[in-house]
Amino acid sequence: MPRDALTAATAWPQRSALRPPLPTLRPDTARTIFYHDAGSAGCNGNVTDLWNSASMSTSAASAPPTFDFDDPPEDPMAWCAAWFTAADGIGMPNPNAMCLSTVDPDGRPSARIVLRKSFGPEGLVFFTNRESRKGRALAAHPFAVASFHWDVLDRQLIIEGPVDLVDDAASDTYFASRPRASQIGAWASRQSEPCSNRAELDGAFRAAETRFGDGPVPRPPHWGGYRILLRSITFWQGHIFRLHDRIRYERADDAAPWRATRLFP
Ligand SMILES: Cc1cc2nc3c(=O)[nH]c(=O)nc-3n(C[C@H](O)[C@H](O)[C@H](O)COP(=O)(O)O)c2cc1C
């Protein structure tokens, strides 16, 4: 195990020590709309609370939202945002890492970890190489599942829905915010294609470095964002004896109301 990983692993408290108290929803925060931006410079990003920046009262804004699985709010956005905020705030590595599941052109599932870059009522955004295996899968079947697992919080959050492309302007903006070496890496990596050895990868990186010299590195045309539209959101909170709480929210389209269903664990 690498030294850093070992240090991180041994430094972690037991998750039971960090497990949050059983949640209950405050009616005044249930209607709160958050926009969560995981940022571009790594895992711990910014959280912008649109309601707070508009007209929300100070007392409601400063109270941490809590949620009740037996009395779920009509709209799950505030709940989602609160869970992302809790995960980001606890100091764990890559709290925005999610397992992204897609269906390959031949109908078989495939999965991998990517990073959530933003979340809001308009969807969950991640960035990748659109010619990769996942990119080809999404071209054939534009539907994805994103699963987050925060072990120290004993929580799982699953977001499902059809997938849209993030437009070029937004993809350009995000790409421009990345470190230069990552920008060059995006040109160097033929993601998901066979690579004969490390030298081939390093050579591709050096070739891209030479190509762009000291100039700006544009976004490769095959690299960009995807947005998972919010059609299903499942909250899972672990409890003792495997008596976990689960709620699945579903809706038919962006304009439809959410329907919440409590599920056996
Ligand atoms: C913590 C973590 C974060 C990652 N984030 C991304 C990401 O945001 N975008 C991406 O394309 N790959 C990311 N990767 C690499 C992917 O897991 C995967 O190897 C790559 O996207 C190719 O997947 P595919 O061949 O299934 O398309 C990440 C891997 C890890 C472990």
Q: Is 71 exposed, middle or buried (0-12, 13-18, 19+ CB in 10 A)?
A: exposed
Query: Domains of the chain, with CATH numbers?
Result: 3-175+227-262 (2.30.110.10)
Ligand 1: atom nearest CA of 94 is 1
Of the candidates 39, 32, 226, 5, the one whose C-alpha atom is nearest the C-alpha of residue 126 is 226
pLDDT 10s digits, 148-207: 999 999 999 999 999 999 999 999 999 999 999 999 999 999 999 999 999 999 999 999
pLDDT 10s digits, 4-50: 443 444 444 445 455 554 444 333 333 232 334 443 333 333 333 22
Ligand 1: atom nearest CA of 135 is 27
The answer to whether 20 and 13 are in contact (CB under 8 A) is no
C-alpha span between 141 and 260 (Å, rounded): 26
Q: Which residues have CB under 6 Å of ligand 1?
A: 94, 97, 110, 112-115, 126-129, 132-134, 191-192
Residue 212: per-residue pLDDT: 97
DSSP-derived 3-state class of residue 26: coil
pTM: 0.81
- List alpha helices for the chain, DSSP H: 3-11, 15-18, 27-30, 50-54, 58-62, 77-89, 133-140, 168-177, 180-188, 198-212
Tokens 């109301």, residue?
257
The answer to whether 109 and 164 are in contact (CB under 8 A) is no
Q: Mutation test of ligand 1: which of 116, 117, 128, 174 has the most ligand atoms closer than 8 Å to its C-beta? A: 128
Q: What is the overall mean pLDDT for the chain?
A: 83
Residue 60: per-residue pLDDT: 41
pLDDT confidence band for 66 (50 / 70 / 90): confident
C-alpha 112 – ligand 1 centre gap (Å): 6
pLDDT(99) > 80? yes
